[in-house]
Structures are given as structure tokens and as C-alpha cells.
Amino acid sequence: MDQLPDGPLRWVLLGALAVLLLVYVLLLLDLRRAEVRHLPKWVWGLIIVLVTFPIGALLYLVLGRIPAAERAVAQPPPPRGEDRIGEAPPEVLDRPAPGAPATEPTWGRGVSPASGPGTTPSGSEPVIATQALSKRYGDTLALDRIELTVPRGATYGLIGPNGAGKTTMLSILAGLRRPSGGTLHLGVDRRRLAVLVDTPQFEPWLSAREVVDLARSLVAPEFGGAEVDRALREVGLADAADRRCGGFSRGMLQRLGLATCLVGDPEVLLLDEPSSALDPAGRREVLDLIGRLARTTTVVLSTHILADVQQVCDVVGVIDHGRLRYQGPLTDLLARTCAAYSVHVRGDERAFATALAAEPWVSEVETLAPGRLRLVTADAADAERRIPALVAEHGLALVSSVPATDLETAFLELTR
Amino acid sequence: MSLWRLEILRMVRTHRWTILAGLYVFFGVLGPVGARYLNELVSNFAGDITIIVPDPRPVDGIAQFLSNVTQLGVLAVVVVGASALAVDARSEIAAFLRTRVPRSHDLLLPRYTVVAATSMLALVLGTGVAWVLTLPLLGELAVGPMLLGTLLGALYLAFAVAVVAVAGAWLGGLLPTVLASLLVLLALPVLGVVPQVQPWLPSHLVLAVVGLLEGEEPSAFLRAGAVTLVVTPALLVLAGRLLGRREL
């Protein structure tokens, strides 16, 4: 203390020292509570204390500390088990399909990758078509001569296990990655093609309205602000329009992402695993929204959740180890494999079960509970036509008849 | 909401401008005060040893400010710049923008301009504070050299942000962008040990204001200024190309 200068300078120096110590203490207290990135907390602590002030403090604040607004975004996704719930409702298979109706497909049956679907069999030009599209990462062939054809107006489900090449495929379609070989034909202006990544994120300091308005100004500047409000209303975020999206849940971010896609009135929507990170309620909301969008827009969605595909898609492509194993209407895929149905009737089901077992299109019948049966059939179309008739013949009331493991079976047959 | 407004909001709402301005103003205060009281400080801490420090001149206020702020200021500019110019650091946000912005330069230009302008304004602000405090503490400074020197220092910051833009477009991540940029910006003055090279280096502009105040001719900084004026846009073009070629 004696070495400190006298007069006002002494107090200036002591004050500066006190402020410095206070800053260190506050930073370390903050470090204890905050979430950090890039390095473990203890390393950031060392950086704050040991690296010359204010370099260490700045490094921590700018590079290490995750701001509170971003923390909600950085939360881990819910366990996968939660995703795989719910069955496709019975109306799914009867849903009119824009590109390929379930009963009478307009562009034919499933095609093998080698058949080169440059146009749809109905003659209309596909909205997306690839020829021998390949992508190589070093020695790994992520995509192997893919011949993808997406009919205009279809809801195309690109399904496959994790690591099959779905995201790579969508990234190439979106223009975010370049193919190593082959060609890609887009039947629309790229600006009319909207992309939603699997876990959309936005600048956490922007409000939902600002995010959608940014998307509007980039893809459709001719549209007014009313379009932004319409998109937010469409996805159910009108009430949260002025909230900063840093505090949004994953479901809200997913809906916000969809709003950014909607605002430009796109012709094609590319959705990468749109429901994989959502809880059941969020997943339901997003699928309902996709179902509504599919009425007016060509949708390509990649997923490994087969129930989602069954719920919203009319055309599917099965991709595995970078190769397209199947492409065509969903109904064709289901029809060419064994399908299972869960039938719920009101009344004595025993005679009905015996009659079912005698039908040539039924390969297996199992009574799960009173009034509840599970049957396996080799012909889904026959099953859907005949089950209600058989129920009526036996004087029973049909509560429900829903597909059980159908697409999963088909998928496993194609990919094993 | 244009990309320009987005960048202004990034600077304002994340308080990055306060980091830059605060740092430069802090050293703007510290420089002249330190220069004025250096004699007293040294003699108090020296104990029995007698250290003779020459009486401070007005130029020492600015020189002290610049010697303090040069490295820390550039570090702050690099960190703030990288947080905006490492476009692909967060791939989800990058995908949102890159699928909607047709040309990479459209994405890069507002980011570069806003960061560079804020950095330059922070330097001007800090220099202004140092100048204002130097006046009563140490004496008057020549206006012409001050203005020209500050302009040249700001030009160097524009170059530094362009270096960050290239590193961000090339490397993508935030930390690699910061480290690569610092490596380049800190290595550049090392080349200055070669006397023939030094007048051509953009880093020669950092202390231009001191040189000009001490009587150097403006022409001494002409070559470095010209190189910086040519290299900075070239770096931006390169950054745009690298970003355009980069896969997400």
C-alpha cells in the first residue's frame, strides 16, 4: 500500500483494482450458473482468471457463454421412443392423393432405380428428377446413382434408416451440397423451393414475426406484411409473433420454420425429419400442418418414422445405404407386402374371426382382446374392401379397422 | 426485414457494439491518463531505484492509447467479426439463409459492412476520447495528422474484418475463424521486420496517427494505404467465392 501514489491517483488505482476483482467474481459466479460451449467450464474458469484481463473475460463472454436466449434452443431432443407413437388413422389410406391416388395411381407402380423415371407415367414433367445422382464423402458412397422422381403435387416420403442418405439427398435438392455425379432437374425456380432442416434454429434475438418477415423479404419481397401474419396464423404462432424465438420450444421452432417456408408461397417444400425431434403433441401439430400444406404444394419429406409417412404421404422412396430400393405410390408398396390390420368390432367376434381365417387373402388372425383382432394379409386392398363387408355379414358393428405394422413390414422387407 | 437490418439488429441486440465501443473508449480514457501520470506511477513503484521518465508530450497520450488498444481492439474486432462472418458456424441458421439468398456475396456484404463500420466507429470514438482528454492533460494535438491517422487506422480495421470474412468463409466454425484471423493479423507485422516490406503492409497503418503527429510525411503511409485499399475488396471477393463453394 505504501508504494501506491498519494492523492487522487491512489483512489483511482484502488477503485480500478476493486472493480477488476468484482468483475472476476461476477464472471466466475456467472460461469457457475451459465451453460458454456467449445470448452469445459473449468477451462473457461482458468481462461477468465489466468488470461490477461480483459482478453480472458471477453473470450468467455463472446465465445464460451451460451446466452439465456439460446439455451431453450440448445435443449436436447426428447428420447426417440416418444416419437414412435400413434398409428395412422383409418382415413389415411383413403385420403385422396394429389399425385398418385391410393386406388388408381396416376404414374404407375413402384419403379426400380435402374428404370430411370425421367417423367411420370402420366406424361407430366416431374417437379424434381435426378439421374444417376451420386454423392461421395471420401471413400464413402453416401448416394449411389439415385433416380428420384417427384411428381408435381405429390407428398413424397423419403424413408430410410439413420445414415441411409436421406439428409444428403435433401441437401443436394436444396442446393446446400453438390452431387459428385449425375444430374438434378428442378421443374421450378429454386426460389419457389422452400427447405426446412430437421431442427430449425433462428437468431434467438429475433421475434417470430421478424424471422418470417426476413424469409418474406428474401424470397417474396413483393408480398406485404399481411403475408407474414397469415403464415404465422397458419402455423398457430399468431399469439407468439412478437416473442423472441430464443425462448421457443422445439415444436414452436418447427412451426416457425414451416411459417418461413409458407411465406413465399412455395411450389415445393423440402422437409428433413420434420417431426423427429418433437414430443407427441408437437408431432401431431406438425403432421397436421403438413397434411394441410400438401393440398396445394408438392412436399418432399424425409423421415425414419414410418407412421408419419403413412399418415401424410402418397408416394414413397425407400433409401438404404445410399441406394433407392423402391419408389412409387405408397399403396403399391403396401400391396406388394404382407400387411397387418388391427380390427375393433362391437359384438361376439369369434365367428367373425373364424370367417376371416377362412378367407384366401388372410394369412393369419389373432384375437388380442374381446372385440379386438389382428390379421395379417397379403393383399391390403382386398383387406380394406372385404373387412367391412365381413363385419356386416356377421351382424357386428365396426368400430375401427386400422393398418398395424404394414409399412414397417414393407420397409424391413426392402432394406434387410 | 432486410439482411442489412438483420446485421444492424445483430450488432445492437447482442450488445456487440458495446463491447467494441466500450473497449476503445476505456483505452481512450486510460491512454492519456496513463501517459500523464506515468512519471508518478513509476516513481511510486520504483522504491529506492531512481527511474527517469521523460516528461510526457501530447503525442504520448495518443501513443499510449494505441499501444494499449492495438492488440486488444483487434482481438475484439476479430471476435465480434467472426460471430457474424462465420456464416456456417450454426448450420441450421446457415441453411435457412443460404437456401433463400441467391448469391453468397449478398449474405456477406451486409455482415462485413456492419462489422467494419462499427469497428471503425469504435476506433474513431476511442481516438476522440483520447484526443479530448489529451488536450487538458498533456496539450494540443495537430488536427490534420490526427484526422488522417485515424482514417488510416480505420482503414486497417476494414482490412482486418475482411481477413475475418475470408477465414469465416473458408473454415466455417467460430473458433477456427477467430484463431486463423488472429494468426494472420498477428503474423503480418512480423513480416515488417524486413524494412523493404514494412511500408507495404496494412499493419503499417495501425500507428500511422503517431507517426504523422511526430512529423512523418503522409506519403510514408501511401503504399500501405494503397495495398489495403486493393487487398480489402479482393479479400471480400475471395470470401464470397469461398462461401459459395462451401457445402453445408
B18 in reach of chain A (CB within 8 A): no
Confidence band for A25, pLDDT divided at 50, 70 and 90: confident
Supply the pLDDT for residue A416: 64
Name residues whose C-beta falls within 8 Å of residue A124's C-beta, 6 or more positions apart in sequence. Answer: A151, A152
- Using an 8 Å Cβ cutoff, are B228 and B205 in contact? yes
Mean pLDDT over each residue of chain B, to the nearest integer: 90
Name the minimum distance, in Å, from the CA of B147 to any CA of chain A: 28
Q: Which of A114, A117, A98, A121 is nearest to A185 (CA)?
A: A117
Distance, in Å, from the CA atom of A328 to the CA atom of B36, rounded to the nearest integer, reads 82
Quote the Cα angle for A80-A82-A88, to 5°.
110
Burial (Cβ within 10 Å: 0-12, 13-18, ≥19) of residue A243: middle
Which residues in chain A are contacts of B37 at CB distance < 8 A?
5, 9
Supply the pLDDT for residue B181: 93
Which residue in the set B6, B44, B79 is minimally distant from A5, CB to CB?
B44
Nearest CA in chain A to B41: A5
Distance, in Å, from the CA atom of A353 to the CA atom of A374, rounded to the nearest integer, reads 10
Which residue in the set B6, B99, B174 is minimally distant from A176, CB to CB?
B99
Q: How far is CA A135 from CA A141, A149, A182, A414, B231, in A?
A: 6, 17, 9, 22, 36
B45 in reach of chain A (CB within 8 A): yes
Q: In this model, does residue A85 exceed pLDDT 50?
A: no
Is A200 close to B9, i.e. CB distance below 8 A? no
Which residue in the set A4, A67, A217 is minimally distant from B44, CB to CB?
A4
Which residue in the set A54, A200, A214 is minimally distant from B1, CB to CB?
A214
Higher pLDDT, A195 or A375: A195
**Peptide bond just before A54 cis, omega within 30 deg:** yes
Which residue in the set A197, A214, A218 is minimally distant from B95, CB to CB?
A197
Q: What is the DSSP letter of B9?
A: H
Domain limits for position B75: 3-245
Which residue in the set B41, B92, B100 is minimally distant from A215, CB to CB?
B100
A58 residue type, one letter: L
- Using an 8 Å Cβ cutoff, are A139 and A158 in contact? no
Is B6 close to A200, i.e. CB distance below 8 A? no
| Cell numbers for A281 | 403433441
Span A4-16, pLDDT tens digits: 666 667 777 788 7
Nearest CA in chain B to A6: B44
Span A354-391, pLDDT tens digits: 988 888 888 888 888 888 888 888 777 788 888 888 89
CA atoms within 13 A on the CB side of B244: 12
B98 in reach of chain A (CB within 8 A): yes
Name residues whose C-beta falls within 8 Å of residue B20's C-beta, 6 or more positions apart in sequence. Answer: B73, B76, B77, B80, B118, B119, B122
- Using an 8 Å Cβ cutoff, are A114 and A144 in contact? no
Distance, in Å, from the CA atom of B90 to the CA atom of A229, rounded to the nearest integer, reads 27
| Confidence check on the interface: ipTM exceeds 0.90, yes or no | no
Residues of chain B with pLDDT under 70: 46-47
- Using an 8 Å Cβ cutoff, are A323 and A166 in contact? no
Between residues 238 and 267 of chain A, which touch chain B (CB distance below 8 Å)?
A: 257, 260
For residue B190, count other CB atoms closer than 10 A to its CB.
Answer: 10
Is B92 close to A197, i.e. CB distance below 8 A? yes
Q: How far is CA A202 from CA A191, A197, A199, A231, B159, in A?
A: 20, 11, 10, 16, 29
CA atoms within 13 A on the CB side of A400: 13
Taking residues A233-257, what's their average pLDDT?
90
- Percent of chain A whose pLDDT exceeds 70: 80
Is B99 close to A195, i.e. CB distance below 8 A? yes
- Using an 8 Å Cβ cutoff, are A302 and A170 in contact? yes
Q: How, if at all, do strands A128-137 and A140-146 pair? A: antiparallel
Q: Which of B67, B64, B71 is nearest to B133 (CA)?
A: B64
Q: In this model, does residue A72 exceed pLDDT 70?
A: no
Supply the pLDDT for residue A8: 67
Distance, in Å, from the CA atom of B159 to the CA atom of B116, rounded to the nearest integer, reads 9
Taking residues A70-83, what's their average pLDDT?
38
A9 in reach of chain B (CB within 8 A): yes
Is A63 close to B178, i.e. CB distance below 8 A? yes
A355 in reach of chain B (CB within 8 A): no
Which residues in chain A are contacts of B40 at CB distance < 8 A?
5, 9
- Tell me how many domains chain B contains: 1
Supply the pLDDT for residue A362: 87
Nearest CA in chain A to B80: A62
Span A384-411, pLDDT tens digits: 888 888 899 888 899 988 776 557 767 7
A218 in reach of chain B (CB within 8 A): yes
Q: In this model, does residue A102 exceed pLDDT 50?
A: no
Nearest CA in chain A to B102: A191
Q: In this model, does residue A111 exceed pLDDT 60?
A: no
Is B23 close to A54, i.e. CB distance below 8 A? yes
Supply the pLDDT for residue A3: 59
- Using an 8 Å Cβ cutoff, are A385 and A341 in contact? no
Taking residues A101-108, what's their average pLDDT?
27
Name residues whose C-beta falls within 8 Å of residue A284's C-beta, 6 or more positions apart in sequence. Answer: A86
A77 in reach of chain B (CB within 8 A): no
Nearest CA in chain B to A199: B92
pTM: 0.73
Nearest CA in chain B to A244: B13
Name the minimum distance, in Å, from the CA of B244 to any CA of chain A: 10
Q: How far is CA B68 from CA B42, B65, B73, B130, B185, in A?
A: 17, 5, 8, 12, 16
Between residues 198 and 217 of chain A, which touch chain B (CB distance below 8 Å)?
A: 199-203, 205-206, 210, 213-217
Distance, in Å, from the CA atom of A259 to the CA atom of A388, rounded to the nearest integer, reads 40
In which element (H, E) is residue A225 found?
Answer: helix A225-234
Mutation choice for B interface testing from A135, A170, A218 by most B CBs within 10 A: A218
Is A176 close to B247, i.e. CB distance below 8 A? yes
| Cell numbers for B119 | 469497428
Is B40 close to A5, i.e. CB distance below 8 A? yes
Nearest CA in chain B to A260: B96
For residue A328, count other CB atoms closer than 10 A to its CB.
Answer: 23
- Using an 8 Å Cβ cutoff, are A373 and A356 in contact? yes
Confidence band for A82, pLDDT divided at 50, 70 and 90: very low
Name the minimum distance, in Å, from the CA of B10 to any CA of chain A: 8
Higher pLDDT, A57 or A70: A57
Taking residues A139-163, what's their average pLDDT?
90
Taking residues A269-278, what's their average pLDDT?
85
Q: What is the DSSP letter of B56?
A: P
Query: DSSP letter string over A109-147?
Result: S-B-GGG--SS-TTSPPPSEEEEEEEEEETTEEEEEEE-
Taking residues A142-171, what's their average pLDDT?
91
Mutation choice for B interface testing from A176, A178, A248 by most B CBs within 10 A: A176
Is A260 close to B79, i.e. CB distance below 8 A? no
Q: How, if at all, do strands A155-159 and A315-320 pair? A: parallel
A219 in reach of chain B (CB within 8 A): yes
B3 in reach of chain A (CB within 8 A): yes
Q: In this model, does residue A83 exceed pLDDT 60?
A: no
Size of interface A-B (CB pairs under 8 A): 95
Q: How, if at all, do strands A268-272 and A193-196 pair? A: parallel
